[in-house]
Amino acid sequence: MKIAIATEGDSVAMHFGRCGGYTIFEIKDNKVVSEKYEEAPEHQPGLMPKWLSSKGADLVIAGGAGAMARELFGRMGIRLILGAGGPVKEALKKYLDGSLGDGESLCDNSGSCSH
């Protein structure tokens, strides 16, 4: 399984499509086997789900995403967990131990995010 976490600095980015990049973790037997930071391509509507799919992502964790992105991820079979925040590695740890559930998107379709 590959988990892509929208990343700004060391924290989960508030908007998946406008972040600097993604920290992509490969997970086997609930343990991290690899970790790689990938700079995101320039934001264009509909591009990021395709790009993350090409990176093999099975799950994306972010603060928020608009309705179109959620639909595109769903069509590609990529699970999306929204409402996450804090340090990237803490969000991953919470997901792996079952304490990070899908929450409310912190962003709307315009990219406006509440913190």
Half-sphere exposure of 5 (CA within 13 A, CB side): 27
pLDDT at 115: 43
- Given a cut of 60, whether residue 55 has pLDDT beyond it is yes
Task: Classify domain 2-96 at the CATH class level.
Answer: alpha beta
* Residue 105, token pair as written in the block: 């998107």
**What is the per-residue pLDDT for 108?**
54
CA nearest 4: which of 95, 115, 72?
A: 95
Structure tokens at 68: 């179109």
Q: How confident is the model at residue 45 (pLDDT cuts 50, 70, 90)?
A: confident
Task: Note the pLDDT tens digit of each residue in 88-109.
Answer: 999 999 999 999 977 666 565 5
The one-letter amino acid code at 36 reads: K
- Across the chain, mean pLDDT equals 88
Residue 77 has pLDDT above 60, yes or no: yes
The CA distance from 28 to 16, in Å, is 24
